[in-house]
Copies of this chain bind each other. A is one copy, B any other.
Amino acid sequence: MALIKRNTWQREAVRKALASSPSFVSAQQLHAKLESAGSAIGLATVYRALASLAEMNEVDCLNSPEGEQLYRSCASGHHHHHLICRSCGKAVELEADTVEKWTAAVAKQHGFTEVSHVVDMFGTCAECSASSE
């Protein structure tokens, strides 16, 4: 009963636009970027493409402090966290064995199961804090 996936230029355009951005971007930003680059792509399609890419683990997805969903293409398939610049969106991928172990231990200790965790850091990167002076 699995749906057959078709390849459309829209999905590919989203993938490329994401790949060309080192920063986390919102679906709306991505849509604007694509439109201004000449692609007549619909906003709904961008959302759908992002959701499908996220499900395939081709992109990282996180919630900004403002409540928006942010996306970034992600080559490394394994679990990791981010340090994100509030100003320019630039992100550093973080390995965090320490944190993984800590969360697992704490969850077990309190009898919680099916535990997922959100570990993200937001700050101002060196370039942005330099340029704002």
A residues at B contact (CB < 8 Å): 63, 65, 67, 69, 83, 85-86, 92, 94, 96, 98-99, 102-103, 106-107, 110-126, 129
Query: Measured between alpha carbons, how far is A119 from B81 in the docked complex, in Å?
Result: 11
Point out the residues of chain B lying under 8 angstroms from A118, CB to CB: 65, 118-122
Contact A113 B124 (CB under 8 A): yes
Chain B, residue nearest A117 (CB): B121
Point out the residues of chain B lying under 8 angstroms from A115, CB to CB: 83, 121-124
Contact B65 A67 (CB under 8 A): no
Given the known interface contacts A98-B102, A106-B83, the answer about A122 and B111 at a Cβ–Cβ threshold of 8 Å is no
Contact B107 A102 (CB under 8 A): no
Q: Which 5 A-B pairs have the closest CB atoms?
A: A115-B123, A111-B126, A112-B123, A117-B121, A118-B120
The residue from B85, B94, B112, B117 contacting A106, defined by CB atoms under 8 A apart: B94
List, sorted by A's number, 23 A–B pairs whose CB atoms are closer than 8 Å: A67-B69, A83-B112, A85-B112, A92-B110, A94-B106, A98-B98, A98-B102, A103-B121, A107-B121, A107-B123, A110-B125, A110-B126, A111-B126, A112-B121, A112-B123, A112-B124, A113-B129, A114-B123, A114-B129, A115-B121, A116-B123, A118-B119, A119-B119
